[in-house]
Amino acid sequence: MSVLRLKEVLKEKEVSGKTLAETVGITETSLSRIIKGDQQPRFDLLLQIAETLDVDIRDLFNPTKEDKTPKEALQEIINKLESIKDSL
């Protein structure tokens, strides 16, 4: 599983994998492997990808639990509890 959300960012920015690969100077195969999580990109390549897509480098990564606000974390707990309650 990839920790990058590159596929989603490409879709949001309406940029093809081919275009991104050509722009940052890698093969489509390498980009595909990075997207799938089979290959880890160098930090300088991540910076170049972020600049090309006009996003903050942090936007390329999947959010972690720490990225949630307390309100979001609480709402997630409430939703889980309600789901459990409904199944009883």
Neighbours of 48 (CB within 10 A): 18
What is the topology classification, in CATH, of domain 6-62? 434 Repressor (Amino-terminal Domain) (1.10.260)
Burial call 1-26: b when 16+ CB within 10 Å, e when fewer: ebebbbeebbeeeeeeeeebbeebeb
pTM: 0.69
Question: pLDDT tens for residues 56-78?
Answer: 998 998 765 566 677 887 888 88
Highest mean pLDDT among 21-25, 38-42, 71-75: 21-25
Q: Phi, psi at residue 3, to the nearest 5°?
A: -85, -5
Residue 43 is predicted with a pLDDT of 93
